[in-house]
Structures are given as structure tokens and as C-alpha cells.
Amino acid sequence: MKKNFFLLKIKNYWFWFLSFFYFAFILLLPIFSLLKIISETSFDEFFKKATEPIALSAYSITISMAFFACIFNLIFGFILAWVLVRYNFPGKKFLDIAIDLPFALPTSVAGLTLATVYSDKGWIGKILTNFGIQIVFTKLGIIIAMIFVSFPFVVRTLQPVLQEIEKELEEAAWSLGASSWNTFVKVVFPPLIPAILTGTTLAFSRAIGEYGSVVLISSNFPLKDLIASVLIFQYLEQYDYIGATVIGSVVLIISLFLLLTINFLQSWNQKYLKR
């Protein structure tokens, strides 16, 4: 008995050691390397690089485009997740599989496909051109690219939570005289809030860090439609490692602040639901 207990403790130690080693090697080491380079840069130089007009424009475009893409994904991702869980129809399995396509498809291929479809000669872009709407080489193209790569996060986060909601709770609310809307707002929606926040955060973070598809569908002109990830690559092409590191660290800080805010909102929501 003691021998088995001793072996179990050794296995637990190895489990924690390997988990910590993997976490440190994959996540902490790159972040610390980035912070080390930043620590070797003076505050004046960091502030100057981080607040250049091109950099400020890149932050603004990246965050605003990611925000619009995130709102779009939240609305239509929720609708699609609801349809997949609550309804049966021909082609449902195919649609369910197709949602994961952005996960498997290289972003450069996605960008090339989007640029081809939405260009002036593409079958969608040609129609939109007749109405004076241009997609490729504009901010609208950036939004579409961000929507494409981040769409699965909202659907796949909401789908399992919707499947776990018991239909009997809704039927009980209906039997007590609640309308379909009141049942949705007071019974169905509250348990979905943590999943909605998580999926929205993941989609937003994915959109902020997108590069491969955006670089092909936008013109990448400074102060027009240049996003932060493309700006970092342009700095690296110019061997300006300090500039690339500064922009990368600012984006990292924004992402961490966003994640901490969402975690706080989730904790607050869970405490609110327990009352």
C-alpha cells in the first residue's frame, strides 16, 4: 500500500513538472524574451516608437477592425450555434464540419481566396463593384479577413453550452406562462454569458493577431489600412528589431488587459448568478 502511494506521488510530481516545463517553454519563455529586449530599451525610445503616427494608426485600425469583426461573429455565430443545436436539416453535418475550415486552412491561402473572390474580377466583388463597393485593398477587406479566421471560436465555444441546457427548464417556464422571449432572456441566456464572453475574447484576440490573410487582401499602406501585425513584419524587413519589439509588446499588453478584463467579468457574472 505504501509502495503504491509512493509511486503515485512520483507520478504526480512528474505530471506537474512536465506541465510546468511545457507551459514555461511554450508561453513564458517567448514572453520573457520579449520583455528582456524591452528592458534594454530606454523609456524615451520605447515611448517614441510606440507613439509614432504610423504606430498609433496601426493600433487604431487593428483594434477597430477586430472589434467590428468580433461583433459580427458574436451575432451570427450565436445564431449559427443555435441553429446547429436546436434544429435538424439536410446538410447539417456538412455545415458543422465546414465551420472548422479556418482552423485547418493556412491563413495565406485564406487571404488569397478572399482576395480572388472579392476582387473587382471576382464573382462577389464584381457584383459589389456595380454598387460602388470595393472590398480588396480597403478596411472592409480587413474586416472580412478577420471575420473569416475568428468565426469558429464563437460557434465552438457556444455550441457545447447550448447542448447542455436542459429543454425541461424552458418547458417549465412555458408552463408557468412565460413567453418565448422571457424564457430566452431569463432561462437560456444567463448560462450562456460566460461562453459568450470567452468566445468573443478568443475571436477578438485571434483577429488582433491575424497576419497571413490580411496582408494579401489589404493595401498595407501606413495611415490607411496598415494593421499592427503587418507593421511588425515591415519593421523586421527593415532590420528594426527594436521597433518590431515595441509594437509587439504594446499589442501584448492590450491582449493581456483584454483577457484580464474578461476573466473579471466572468467571475463577477458567476457570483451574480449564485445569488
CATH number for the domain that contains residue 121: 1.10.3720.10
Cβ-contact 258, 205 below 8 angstroms: yes
In a domain, 34, yes or no: no
What Rg do the C-alpha atoms of the chain give, in angstroms? Answer: 23
49-57: long-range contacts (C-beta < 8 A, 24 or more apart)? 49/242, 49/243, 49/246, 49/247, 50/246, 50/247, 50/250, 53/223, 54/222, 54/223, 54/226, 54/231, 55/228, 55/231, 55/246, 55/247, 55/250, 57/222, 57/223, 57/226
Supply the range of the domain harboring residue 57: 48-274
Please name the residue ranges forming H helices in the chain: 2-23, 29-39, 43-50, 53-86, 92-98, 101-104, 107-118, 125-129, 139-164, 167-175, 180-183, 189-208, 214-217, 228-237, 241-274
* Cell numbers representing residue 130 in the block: 456595380
Give residue-wise pLDDT tens across range 147-160: 999 999 999 999 98
Q: How many domains does the chain have?
A: 1
Residue 145: pLDDT band with limits 50, 70, 90: very high
In a domain, 191, yes or no: yes
User: Which whole number is the average pLDDT over 127-139?
Assistant: 87
Dist. CA 148–CA 111, nearest whole Å: 9
In a domain, 29, yes or no: no
In a domain, 247, yes or no: yes
pLDDT above 60 for 9: no
In a domain, 10, yes or no: no
Residue 183: pLDDT band with limits 50, 70, 90: confident
Q: What is the pLDDT of residue 10?
A: 57
Dist. CA 235–CA 242, nearest whole Å: 9
Residue 233 CB: number of other CB atoms within 10 A? 15
Dist. CA 12–CA 125, nearest whole Å: 57
User: Of the candidates 131, 132, 135, which has an alpha carbon nearest to the alpha carbon of residue 122?
Assistant: 135
Dist. CA 45–CA 25, nearest whole Å: 29
The whole-model pTM stands at 0.84
Give residue-wise pLDDT tens across range 199-255: 888 898 889 888 888 988 988 888 888 999 999 999 988 888 888 888 988 888 888
In a domain, 78, yes or no: yes
Cβ-contact 144, 225 below 8 angstroms: no
In a domain, 198, yes or no: yes
In a domain, 26, yes or no: no
Dist. CA 90–CA 119, nearest whole Å: 32
Instruction: Say if residue 103 is exposed, middle or buried (CB neighbours under 10 Å; 0-12, 13-18, 19+).
Output: exposed
Give residue-wise pLDDT tens across range 167-177: 777 778 777 77
